[in-house]
Structure 1
Amino acid sequence: MNPDLNATIIVQAIMSGSAPSSSPFLVPQFSLKDYGSFFTAGALCCTITHGGMTPIDVVKTRIQVDPALARHSLLSGGRYIVANEGPRALLTGFGPTAVGYLVQGGAKFAGYEYWKKAFVQVAGDQESAVKYRTAIYLGAASVAEFFADILLTPLEATRIRLVSERGYASGLVTGFTRLTREEGVRGLYSGFLPILCKQIPYAIGQFTVNEFCHELAFRSMSEETRRTLSPTSKFTISLGSGIIAGFAAAILSHPADTLLSQINKGHGPEGSMAHRLTILAKQAGIRGLFAGLGPRMVMTAGLVSGQFLLYGIIKDAMGAPPGLEIHKE
């Protein structure tokens, strides 16, 4: 969502009973260049934030898969890793993280812009678009994330191997090459189902909760107040909405995130992925599935809020058009 409300095209609800149901849409017609700008802004905001969060992600993943760290907090787990493996261990997996979320972030943000616009047009009129805006948010986030995860899964599998198995490889290229050589395409995509279970709820929390947080903030303001918001006020609303959306994304996706780490480490019985996930979930229990949630909530709040802020800034710098918002007035 573009934080600049004045530059944002809004599909508004006509709340009076006399409003016609065929109110014309205020829907932008994005070009390929526009979608290229959305992709670039999404790619940069995701690779910058995820790359910067690598040390926290390393500690979180190790808490999930290493029994020696299972009861550690973020700080104590980080101290343990540094003391035993050195500071460089906290940057393990930086390469696949940066590259993976470069392609995934671009596809996710551009895809969300595309599918949200498409579903708004399918709704048929303004009132229907606003009435079913929750379904539009959920559908756009889910479809965009599905295609983005096709690009992300092999690199995420490589990252988790590098983090969870000391000495597995020296970096992105060697890790990806070893995984491909030893396990083939099946190994690269062994985590596709759990990553969908993780990333789709993550995207739903990220985009849908952020949309509604902005709506709640703006609903209490007059049109004149919104148009004259100071940069500080806009920043505060975007930051607060992103943090809340980050908490929601972490909670919704954490059980699958834990299972993904286990799958990529080679845990679980043989059989179909659904069978393996079921057995691993039973073995972990509720407490095990939510191991490492605290560090991940901190990480995800920073990721999501940072991504939305950077996405808007980069789009503006590139001269990209504003996004489409569907707010109930």
Structure 2
Amino acid sequence: MTTRVWCALLAASAAPSAAALYPPLAPLVAGVGAGSSGGTDWRYFAAGGVSAALSHGYTTPLDVIKTRMQTNPRDYNGSVPLAFRRIVKEEGPLFLLQGLAPTCVGYGVEGALKFGFYELCKPLFKGVTPSPVADFLLASVIAGAIASVVLCPAEELRIRQVADPAYAASTLGALARLLREGGPLASFGGLPAMLCKQVPYTMGKQVSFDVLCSFFYTTLALALAGGDADRLDPRARALVPFLGASCTSLVACLLSHPGDMVLTEYFKGSKRAAVVAPPKGRRRSSAIAALPPPPPSSTLGALRAIVARDGALGLFAGLQARFLHVAAIIIVQLVVYDALKQVLGLPSTGSH
């Protein structure tokens, strides 16, 4: 049912009569989130920043496992529990917190910008297309692009620290080495790769949560409160953001996983840039042939490297670990975000 609802919403501009197939869709398609004015309200930025830092911080161990499975699929090609045990055995339990500092800081700022600019852009794009869902998608593209610029340095630090434990002894040491070797703008070479991940992720997360919460409020109101969402029992109202976030996590993960693979491949490759000169003489040609392929120097190069090495399915390597990671992030993040909005005096997502 959820799949049919999502498809009907995306097709609303081309087939307005689709709402007649299921009554709860009528008010949803007519004006999903119409009461959410958005705008330059600091409360959206604050709630987004706190919820993002919290949700990404506590899932750092899952992120470490996921990154190891992506950067070294031949050694970590089993299940998530097996990868967990191997990391603890070889690196120690504290390695599961590798990259915690850049994760919390980077995603805290990124979350503030993503949620804040999404709400800022929603009224700006209102009415641009016949479909409110399409308007929300446009707003999410802008928000995801802005947040990606801030996230680039933090994500490169995290990936380098996890992919290569010897890269630096601390986050500050990793930052100093990154600046020393590549300069202050080095991380932004991966901006196209970051956009490949973050824009689809933002589209899947922000828009799906808005649409699904509106759907669940409308459906529960029809079933339990005679169509009036304001009369819903508090327990039913509390269930809405959890249901919306749970479904949203699947959409966001599937949309952004190929981009996440490309991003990881791009940043991982830069640590292999140093090439040892082959010996002279007869063994020179065989030594050259034995050298690893050069690291990708572009987003397209990273994509080609993955496909050449593992085939098209390589773009979905580590999907199981990442889905657990994304679900753990998004469910907590969106539930906390919705609760913080209400504490700060804003309406619950999808309730108006």
Does residue 259 of structure 1 match 2:301?
A: no
Bigger mean CA offset, 88-97 vs 207-216:
207-216
Structure 2 counterpart of 1:52, from 55, 58, 61: 58
Does residue 287 of structure 1 match 2:313?
A: yes
What is the aligned partner in structure 1 of residue 326 from structure 2? 300
Superposed CA deviations along residues 37-80 of structure 1, whole A, max 9, x for unmatched, are: 21111000000000011000000000001145331221111111
Structure 2: 5+ residue stretches without partners: 1-15, 21-29, 271-292
> What is the letter of the counterpart of residue 317 of structure 1?
V
Does residue 80 of structure 1 match 2:79?
A: no
CA distance in 2: counterparts of 1:208 and 1:69, whole angstroms:
37
What is the aligned partner in structure 1 of residue 252 from structure 2? 249
CA distance in 2: counterparts of 1:294 and 1:264, whole angstroms:
21
Task: Give how far 1:317 is off.
Answer: 2.4
Task: Report matched runs for 1:1-329 at 5 Å.
Answer: 28=37, 30=39, 32=40, 35-120=41-126, 122-123=127-128, 131-220=130-219, 221-222=221-222, 224-266=227-269, 269=294, 273-283=298-308, 284-319=310-345, 321-322=346-347
Question: What is the DSSP-based 3-state SS (H/G/I as helix, E as strand, rest coil) of the residue aligned with 1:55?
Answer: helix
CA distance in 2: counterparts of 1:208 and 1:255, whole angstroms:
19
- Count residues in correspondence: 296
CA distance in 2: counterparts of 1:115 and 1:38, whole angstroms:
12
CA distance in 2: counterparts of 1:281 and 1:37, whole angstroms:
41
CA distance in 2: counterparts of 1:76 and 1:274, whole angstroms:
31
Q: Contact 1:42 / 1:311 at 8 angstroms: preserved in 2?
A: yes
> What is the letter of the counterpart of residue 282 of structure 1?
V
Task: Give how far 1:316 is off.
Answer: 2.4
Task: Give how far 1:133 is off.
Answer: 1.2
Task: Give how far 1:255 is off.
Answer: 1.1
Superposed CA deviations along residues 95-128 of structure 1, whole A, max 9, x for unmatched, are: 11001001100000001111112112x54xxxx7
Superposed CA deviations along residues 307-327 of structure 1, whole A, max 9, x for unmatched, are: 1111122222233x3378598
CA distance in 2: counterparts of 1:61 and 1:270, whole angstroms:
17
Q: Contact 1:113 / 1:323 at 8 angstroms: preserved in 2?
A: no
Task: Give how far 1:240 is off.
Answer: 1.5
Superposed CA deviations along residues 154-177 of structure 1, whole A, max 9, x for unmatched, are: 110011000000121122222112
Structure 1: 5+ residue stretches without partners: 1-12
Task: Give how far 1:29 is off.
Answer: 7.4
> What is the letter of the counterpart of residue 342 of structure 2?
D
Bigger mean CA offset, 281-290 vs 193-202:
281-290
Question: What is the DSSP-based 3-state SS (H/G/I as helix, E as strand, rest coil) of the residue aligned with 2:269?
Answer: coil
CA distance in 2: counterparts of 1:274 and 1:305, whole angstroms:
30
Question: What is the DSSP-based 3-state SS (H/G/I as helix, E as strand, rest coil) of the residue aligned with 1:190?
Answer: helix
Relative to structure 1, is the Cα distance of residues 47 and 196 closer, same or farther in structure 2, using a 3 angstrom cutoff?
A: same
> What is the letter of the counterpart of residue 338 of structure 2?
G
CA distance in 1: counterparts of 2:250 and 2:149, whole angstroms:
25
Q: Contact 1:38 / 1:315 at 8 angstroms: preserved in 2?
A: yes
TM-score normalised by the chain length of structure 1: 0.82
Question: What is the DSSP-based 3-state SS (H/G/I as helix, E as strand, rest coil) of the residue aligned with 1:147?
Answer: helix
Identity within the alignment, %: 31
CA distance in 1: counterparts of 2:297 and 2:80, whole angstroms:
33
Pick 1 or 2: higher relative contact order, CA cutoff 8 A, min separation 6.
1
Question: What is the DSSP-based 3-state SS (H/G/I as helix, E as strand, rest coil) of the residue aligned with 1:322?
Answer: coil
CA distance in 1: counterparts of 2:138 and 2:131, whole angstroms:
11
Relative to structure 1, is the Cα distance of residues 208 and 85 closer, same or farther in structure 2, using a 3 angstrom cutoff?
A: same
CA distance in 1: counterparts of 2:242 and 2:78, whole angstroms:
29
Bigger mean CA offset, 212-221 vs 201-210:
212-221
> What is the letter of the counterpart of residue 339 of structure 2?
I
TM-score normalised by the chain length of structure 2: 0.77
